Homo-oligomer: A and B are copies of this chain.
Amino acid sequence: MGDADGRTVVMCVDYSPTRAEMHEVDDVAEFFSHRRPAWSRVRWIHVAGLQEPGAVQRLAEKYELHPLTMEDVLSGTQRPKVDAFGGGESGMNARLFVTTRALEIQDGRLRSEQISIFLGHNTVLSFEEGPTSQWHQVRQRLMAEGSHLRTADASYLVYAMLDTVVDGAFPILDHFDGGLEELETAVLEHANPAVLTSIQDLKRQFALFRSSVWPMREVVAALRRDPHECMSETTKVYLGDLYDHIVQVIEIIETYRERASDLTESYRSAVSFRTNEVMKLLTVIGTIFIPLTFFAGVYGMNFRHFPELELAWAYPAFWLISLVVAGLMVVFFRRRGWF
């Protein structure tokens, strides 16, 4: 969702076990002048695209978000983390603030986008930078009659959102796996500096990937470990499962990193192996012809007293000897396994 023109799009979903309604909010000020419908058990307001500070600002005021966390929301380069806030007498007094990075492959390169989620007792606010459709599926599940998501509380929605983000990592791992396999073939076929550059480029993408996923581990561990009134025990069981998935992602990326450094090793080895091959060819040619050239040179000398020159069978003998010497060399090199 969101808007390709860079406009900020605000979506509001209200749901309860029996009913769910979704609509786009055009005027935030006007929207807040209405009360939340009585049947709504959880309200999820999602902001896609942060170009219009006005709308974001009004939300921050309405839900009394701390200026520092609003700064984090807008910075776009925040490291994944979780902050707990509590107290106050407003409707959304206790809050959990989760920020994480959603990953995506765009034009063959890894891009990461910041995603921020505020969890209140029965309100979820989420912000994403670009017009990606990370949570399109989550909304569809919410709208579907009788989905488990609709019967659960707000913290389960946050779990579902984070789960979507983590699940998004698996196709990226597949993409990386393909890249590694391609390079593994390339290294064996033509080891040139461009291949090394590609390997290092991939390694850098792994590092970016890892630096995005690694802190998510801490985030989910903290959500699961630290008691907070907005986080239900039921959801925590699911967060344990999510935690396992993140660990799995991290372990896979670690093996990829190892494969990449094996690739560097293969590259280096391929270059020096080829140097060796080249050397062997030169040596074979040199070793065979250099002595023969010397012999030819000898019989090209202009000494007056040069008995061999007069012999009738000297020239055929020269060829015979040359061929025998060359043949022996060939046998010698074959024995050594040089070709």
Interface residues of A (CB under 8 A from B): 66, 68, 71-72, 77-79, 81, 83, 188, 190, 192-193, 196-197, 200, 203-204, 207-208, 211, 237-238, 240-241, 244, 247-248, 251, 255, 258-259, 262, 264-276, 278-283, 285-287, 289-294, 296-315, 318, 337-338
Contact = CB atoms under 8 A, between A and B. Distances in A.
Contacts of A302: 299-302, 306, 309
Nearest to A200: B262
Contacts of A248: 77, 79
Given A79-B248, A290-B293, A301-B302, 14 more contacts: A66-B237, A78-B244, A79-B247, A207-B255, A268-B268, A269-B271, A275-B276, A282-B283, A282-B287, A285-B287, A296-B300, A297-B297, A300-B301, A304-B310
Contact of A286 (B240, B285, B305, B338): B285
Given A79-B247, A211-B251, A282 B281 contact: no
Nearest to A298: B296
Contacts of A311: 303, 305
A290 B289 contact: yes
A150 B207 CA distance: 42
What DSSP secondary structure best describes chain A's contact surface?
A: helix
Contacts of A190: 337
Nearest to A285: B287
Contacts of A196: 265-266, 269
A309 B312 CA distance: 14
B289 A294 contact: yes
Given A264-B265, A276-B278, A297-B296, A303 B290 contact: no
B270 A193 contact: yes
B281 A79 contact: no
**Can you list the 10 inter-chain pairs with the closest CB atoms, starting with the nearest?**
A296-B297, A299-B301, A282-B283, A300-B300, A303-B315, A289-B290, A293-B294, A275-B276, A305-B312, A200-B262
A297 B304 contact: no
23 contacts: A71-B241, A77-B248, A188-B197, A264-B265, A268-B269, A272-B272, A278-B279, A278-B283, A279-B279, A281-B283, A281-B287, A282-B287, A285-B287, A289-B294, A294-B296, A296-B298, A298-B318, A300-B300, A302-B302, A302-B306, A303-B308, A303-B314, A305-B311
A22 to B, nearest CB: 27
Contacts of A286: 282, 285-286, 290
B294 A303 contact: no
A321 B204 CA distance: 53
A297 B287 contact: no
B299 A303 contact: yes
Contact of A282 (B269, B282, B294): B282
Nearest to A296: B297
Contacts of A270: 193
A247 B265 CA distance: 30
Nearest to A195: B269
Q: Which of A68, A292, A298 has the most CB of B within 10 A?
A: A298
Contacts of A241: 68, 71-72
